[in-house]
Amino acid sequence: MDDQLNVSGASCPRGVEYGKAEVTDPRRTVTALANMAGMRKPLCVKTAAPIPKNKIFDVIKEINHTTVIAPVSIGDVIIEDVAGTGIAVVATTNIK
């Protein structure tokens, strides 16, 4: 990548976009564990969209401090706006 944001070495258009974003606004989809009330088993979740990379630990902290009551289904919104990113956190598994 040069100063003009010309990306080289990408093998697909998605790669070009990814390369540009890595420089201008690097983002990550965060997957983590929230707590299930009354169970040792944790609940796996993800951010519904990539969040800014510098917010990863704020997001993780908020998720780790969230407790959910069963039942939960894939796609259920666990946090509506995580760490002020405007992005939701959703469940990625079903717990009955």
Partner 1 sequence: MQYDVIIIGAGVIGCATARELAHYNLRVAVLESGSDVAEGTSKANSAIVHAGFDAKPNTNKAKFNVLGNKMFEPLCRELGVPFRRNGSLVLAFNKADVQELENLLERGKTNGVPNLKILDAESLRACEPNVTPEAIAALWAPTGGICCPYELTFRLAENAAANGVEFKFDTCVVGFVRKDDAWQVQTADGRKFTTRTIVNAAGVHADELNNLVSATKYHITPRRGEYLMLDKSEDTTFTATIFQVPGPMGKGVLVSPTVDGTVIVGPTSEDIAEKEDKATTHAGLEKVKSLARRSYPALPLAKVITEFSGIRAHETTVGDFIIGEASDASGFFNLVGIESPGLTSAPALAEWTAQRIAQKLHAFKKPADAISTDTSAWPKTRELTPEALAELITRDPSFGRVICRCEEITEGEIRAAIRARIGARTLDGIKRRTRSGMGRCQGGFCTPRLIEILSQELGLPAESFLVSRKKAPRALIEEAAARDDQTEYDVVIVGAGPAGLAAAIAAHDEGAVHVIIIERDDAPGGILQQCIHNGFGLHRFKEELTGPEYAARFIAEVDKRNIPVRCGTMVRALTRDGSHHIVTITSPKYGLEKLHTKSVVLAMGCRERPRGALMTPGTRPAGVYTAGTVQRLVNMDGIMPGRRVVILGSGDIGLIMARRLIFQGAKVLACIEIMPKSSGLMRNVVQCLNDFNIPLLLSHTVTDVEGTDHVTGVKVSQVDDKLQPIAGTEQHFDCDTLLLSCGLIPENELSRAAGVEINPTTRGPVVTPEMATSVPGIFAAGNVVRVYDLVDWVSRDAEIAGKAAAKYAL
Contacts with partner 1, residue ranges (CB under 8 A):
28-33, 39-42, 44, 46, 53, 56, 60, 64, 70-71, 74, 92-96
Shortest spacing between CB 74 and partner 1, in angstroms? 6
Shortest spacing between CB 24 and partner 1, in angstroms? 16
Asked if 64 contacts 58 with a C-beta cutoff of 8 angstroms, the reply is no
Shortest spacing between CB 39 and partner 1, in angstroms? 6
Half-sphere exposure of residue 80: CA atoms within 13 angstroms, side-chain side:
0
* Nearest one of 5, 86, 6, 1 to 50, comparing CA atoms: 86
Nearer to partner 1, 66 or 92 (CB): 92
